[in-house]
Structure 1
Amino acid sequence: MIKTVKLNILIPLQYEKSDYSKTTEPNLQLSKEQINSLKDSRLYDSSEWFHYCFRNKPLEANYQMINSPLLNDDNYCISRIEMDSVVRSLTGLHKNENTKYILKGKKDIEFRIGKLRILFTKSSFAFLHIEVYASELPEKDTLLFLNMFGQINNSQPRIEYRRKISKDEEETVKINFKDIILTLINLQSYVPLYLYRNRITPYFQICLVGTCEQDKKLMFFDSVQSLSKRASMREINTSHIYIGKEPYISRFTGDRTFCLYGDIDSCGEDNIDFITDIKNGLTKSATENYTSIYAFLIALHLIATKNDIYDNDTEYLISAPTRLSDEDNIREFYDKCIYENCWKLKEEISDVRTKIQIIGLDSIRQFVKRWEGAPKENSNIYFGKSPFLFISYAHTDKDIVYPIIERLQKKGVRIWYDTRLRPGDEWPEEIGWNIIDCALFIVMLSDAAVLSIHVREELNMANSRHKNLFGVKVEPLKDIKLSPGMELQLSISQMIDDALSEDQMVDSIFSIITTKYPELIEK
């Protein structure tokens, strides 16, 4: 029986590391008037909105982290941002951390969602950190609980909870976990965040407290570390397990998993409080200390395994400290299981150094300078200095969207959309420049568009640049449910949301353009 399972989910994100200083700004003390103004204006790129939703909560300089470079090294400090009840409400969660949720699946499991955080490393990587935990689960249900978070997609995990809407009435709130993640990422643009490789790729730091039969323990550990719903690359063995000063605590690693297991049967009366108190002791240490170091090491791993080493993160990687804590358990565990075995991070870093010796670090620096010297304005090979419309859409909707675009073009509207990309263009750069330069941004909304990472990123950037924008629903209104994040971003924008024919849709869009944005039309 597992008394407590605490799952710290880490989702890799990318951001402009020049924005790191924004994450360490002192928390603003906002007046009630300022807060009401923020709620009305929704200025997502303002520091006030950022501080209204998030608060800087530095890592604790406790005995496990004292002298850690993640606390005091200017090149490697981690900034931790904690999201408050305001953010929970905007995602559709209950603002109270003690609210009970139901994880829907083959077997419904009751659990709680704890803190929501973002950990910013000083490379270009950040991590969305979500705590979830459950209690009193048999080993089989524990594995089910963990595996249901192993792959986050459009259909799972699905969660529900009960929310009061009046004194005597409640409603059931149903949420897709993926929507929560995307809303958290798109909630503000003061420090723009993007999913690494446009995918939700969860890593897991897990703390388990309970009892497991000795002869089945290794098999249980192997099942835990195979969290990605595929066969593990390596069966767990002693090279992936570390037992330190306390024989009742096991630490082990997997490809995207690392776990602390506290054994109640063998810990003794003197240590039972340390093992079982979820607010303190082992579970807190796992969340506050091990998770922070784990996030830093994931960043190094992601840099080291990039296909293209011509990247300005390379110097960050090869100079990174290996002694991340003076505390024996933390230092020896990561040395044995991450640097030497399992991930073989030391070997990965050595490979990068070898490549640098072959091609030279100056080549890498030269590549970085090419982007540092990029023009401040796009030359816009399509329209020169003439204003134009940017259309964002899901590629699966092209049969609906292309005829609309073609008919608007015949009416003289200057339109940019991504099929105009030429061979050799860098897709993110071209998209980004044309969002920056456009005079009007239209997002063509459908179920596919709501689920498209690319559409979300384009909408997020358009918002951050204060672009004139509106949404056009290209599917019947009843068939589209905006995610909380997109609903938030489009809440103050114009919307064409009636069930219209193609003719009516073209006429409605053209009418808005001729009335409000006539400069987009060729004379």
Structure 2
Amino acid sequence: MINTLKMNLLIPLQYDKDNYSKTLEPDINLSKEQIEHLKNSGQYTSSEWFHYCFRHKPLEANFQMAESPLLQDNNYKISRVELDSVVRALTGLHKNETTKYLLKAQSDIEFKFGKIRVLFTKSRIAFLHIEIYSYNLSEKETRLFVNAFSQITNSQPRIEYKRKLSKDEEETVKTNLKDIILTLISLQLYVPLSLFDNRISPYIQICFNGDCDANDKLTFFDSIQSLSKRASAREINDSHLYVGKEPYIYRFAGDRTFCIYGDTLNCIDDDNLRFITDSKNGLIKSATENYTTVYAFLLSLQLLVVKNDIEDEDIEYLINSPSRLSNEDNIREFYDKCLYNNGWHLKESISDLKNRIKIMGDNPIKKWIKRWQNRPEINSNRYFGKKPYVFISYAHNDKDIIYPIIKKLQDNGIRVWYDKRIEAGDEWPEEIGWNIIDCSLFIIMLSESAVLSINVRNELTMASGQTKDLFGVNIEAEVNLSPGMQLQLSNSQKITSLTIDELADSIIATIKNKYQSVCE
């Protein structure tokens, strides 16, 4: 049984980082009449509205965050604002945090919305932070509850609550979390916010306590972290789990979910039990104030390091980013083991960026970073943008077969990059290499010419080394692969058809079934 469950939902947003200083301006005291005027007139661009309804709430400088750069370093300090009841009501929620809601799922689950905040990092990334509480859940209900909030769509999660109209009359309000989030973003324009990558991608920090009776707790933990629904998610093992100095507190991490579990059965004395179960001053408060803050910062680094449109300022922000974010051993060691090193391999990604600069120098990287800017559209039909795309590897001797297939893919809304028209002055290996690194899917067009092409084999080797999703397409009836190519393609899907149209149709069907992100 899970006695208390608190989810800290983090929705990545983006904003103009030049507006960061606005979030630190002092709050403004306004009369009810002034607030009503601002609300009724929709003057959401004013500083008065922002600093009344989005109050600045600094992070606490407690012992767990003492001397943290997230509190002190002007380059990495996190600013936090908290929504007033006026804005809560405008989003469709009840203005009171004590209001009970029902999650409409397989079985109705009662919960509460706690504080709603926005965390602003000093990069262009911010996070909408929504606190959600529920109590006395079975393990099955816990999985159901977390799963409901792990993917936010037009219809899910569905929420209901009762709102009083008069002393003896009330109404049932039905809404969904996506509408609440989108409305909230639109309710202030003093520091304009938008969804990161134009989509709602929830990351969840869960803090819960109870007496989970699973023989192997890893089984239960795995069922929670797997709700991140990422292809790269793996079973929880020792590299995802951290048990610190207290044997009654477990910390574990997945791709989009990390959890802190207080085991009431293992508490040594009443003080331990009180720390686990006191939702105002114990483990749950510590998780929200400290763990969630560090998690949000590391998440901002992760989102930047994997983006295609990384900016000059992002490079500096990443390579100089602090790794020691808390002086408290449990927080530091948990993140270092489960996210910074093992989970996201963030340390490795930032180190790789540093090595690129060391080997290539700053200018080639900046040149590549700006590769989308001022690109001529004339006579160029390959994709050159910031969204996920397919890299097509082929032998130029096969172009009469390949180009019609590429055109059909493009006509069906699939973003394709191939090396037909590399602009004058571009370095061929660099251009090819970077596009393999940034692609979301690698397709190799197999023929006898492709097998003999050193360039095609090099491209396949790099894609395999980058662990890209890839599959082969036989454009000839029989293709004798080299042993190395057989090895690299041994676990990948292969497509074989008789005609160009059939090949194109098979590729399109596969992409639209498994790789929707590369489609318009």
Query: When the two structures are superposed, what TM-score results if normalisation uses the length of structure 2?
Result: 0.69
Identity of aligned residues (%): 68
Query: Given that residues 311 and 367 in structure 1 are in contact (C-alpha distance below 8 angstroms), is that contact kept between their aligned partners in structure 2?
Result: no
Write the mapping of 1:81-160 to structure 2, written as runs, cut at 5 A: 81-160=81-160
Structure 2 equivalent of residue 281 of structure 1: 282
Question: Are 1:49 and 2:35 an aligned pair?
Answer: no
Structure 2 residue matching 1:313: 3-state secondary structure: helix
Structure 1 residue matching 2:65: 3-state secondary structure: coil
CA-CA distance at 1:39 after TM superposition: 2.3
Structure 2 equivalent of residue 356 of structure 1: 357
Structure 2 residue matching 1:201: 3-state secondary structure: coil
- In structure 2, C-alpha distance between the alignment counterparts of 1:364 and 1:27, rounded to whole Å: 42
CA-CA distance at 1:338 after TM superposition: 1.2
- In structure 2, C-alpha distance between the alignment counterparts of 1:206 and 1:81, rounded to whole Å: 21
| Range that drifts further, 98-107 or 363-372 | 363-372
2:344 counterpart letter in structure 1: W
- In structure 1, C-alpha distance between the alignment counterparts of 2:361 and 2:116, rounded to whole Å: 41
Structure 1 equivalent of residue 196 of structure 2: 196
Structure 2 residue matching 1:287: 3-state secondary structure: helix
Write the mapping of 1:393-404 to structure 2, written as runs, cut at 5 A: none
Structure 1 equivalent of residue 308 of structure 2: 307
CA-CA distance at 1:31 after TM superposition: 2.7
Structure 1 equivalent of residue 183 of structure 2: 183
Unaligned runs of 5+ in 2: 375-414, 416-520
2:209 counterpart letter in structure 1: V
From the superposition, tell whether residues 344 and 370 of structure 1 become closer, same or farther in structure 2 (CA, over 3 Å): closer
CA-CA distance at 1:231 after TM superposition: 6.1
From the superposition, tell whether residues 370 and 79 of structure 1 become closer, same or farther in structure 2 (CA, over 3 Å): farther
From the superposition, tell whether residues 310 and 55 of structure 1 become closer, same or farther in structure 2 (CA, over 3 Å): closer
Query: Given that residues 312 and 368 in structure 1 are in contact (C-alpha distance below 8 angstroms), is that contact kept between their aligned partners in structure 2?
Result: no
From the superposition, tell whether residues 371 and 239 of structure 1 become closer, same or farther in structure 2 (CA, over 3 Å): closer
Structure 1 residue matching 2:134: 3-state secondary structure: strand
Structure 2 equivalent of residue 334 of structure 1: 335
Structure 1 residue matching 2:236: 3-state secondary structure: coil
Structure 1 equivalent of residue 208 of structure 2: 208
Structure 2 residue matching 1:10: 3-state secondary structure: strand
From the superposition, tell whether residues 19 and 368 of structure 1 become closer, same or farther in structure 2 (CA, over 3 Å): farther
- In structure 1, C-alpha distance between the alignment counterparts of 2:15 and 2:319, rounded to whole Å: 20
CA-CA distance at 1:371 after TM superposition: 12
Write the mapping of 1:428-507 to structure 2, written as runs, cut at 5 A: none
Query: When the two structures are superposed, what TM-score results if normalisation uses the length of structure 1?
Result: 0.69
| Range that drifts further, 311-320 or 106-115 | 311-320
Cα deviation digits, residues 145-175 of structure 1 (max 9, x gap) = 0001111000100000011101110100001
Structure 2 equivalent of residue 173 of structure 1: 173
Number of residue pairs the alignment of both structures matches: 374
- In structure 1, C-alpha distance between the alignment counterparts of 2:371 and 2:75, rounded to whole Å: 23
- In structure 1, C-alpha distance between the alignment counterparts of 2:229 and 2:100, rounded to whole Å: 26
CA-CA distance at 1:6 after TM superposition: 0.4
- In structure 2, C-alpha distance between the alignment counterparts of 1:265 and 1:158, rounded to whole Å: 34
From the superposition, tell whether residues 108 and 32 of structure 1 become closer, same or farther in structure 2 (CA, over 3 Å): closer
- In structure 2, C-alpha distance between the alignment counterparts of 1:139 and 1:367, rounded to whole Å: 49
- In structure 2, C-alpha distance between the alignment counterparts of 1:6 and 1:125, rounded to whole Å: 24
From the superposition, tell whether residues 19 and 365 of structure 1 become closer, same or farther in structure 2 (CA, over 3 Å): farther
Query: Given that residues 147 and 229 in structure 1 are in contact (C-alpha distance below 8 angstroms), is that contact kept between their aligned partners in structure 2?
Result: no
- In structure 2, C-alpha distance between the alignment counterparts of 1:102 and 1:207, rounded to whole Å: 20
- In structure 1, C-alpha distance between the alignment counterparts of 2:228 and 2:370, rounded to whole Å: 38
Structure 2 residue matching 1:356: 3-state secondary structure: helix
Query: Given that residues 211 and 264 in structure 1 are in contact (C-alpha distance below 8 angstroms), is that contact kept between their aligned partners in structure 2?
Result: yes
Structure 1 residue matching 2:224: 3-state secondary structure: helix
- In structure 2, C-alpha distance between the alignment counterparts of 1:367 and 1:25, rounded to whole Å: 37
Cα deviation digits, residues 23-80 of structure 1 (max 9, x gap) = 0111111133422331232211110111122100000000101100000000000001
From the superposition, tell whether residues 213 and 272 of structure 1 become closer, same or farther in structure 2 (CA, over 3 Å): same
Query: Given that residues 309 and 352 in structure 1 are in contact (C-alpha distance below 8 angstroms), is that contact kept between their aligned partners in structure 2?
Result: no
Unaligned runs of 5+ in 1: 375-422, 424-523
Cα deviation digits, residues 2-41 of structure 1 (max 9, x gap) = 0011010000010000000000111111133422331232
- In structure 2, C-alpha distance between the alignment counterparts of 1:332 and 1:245, rounded to whole Å: 11
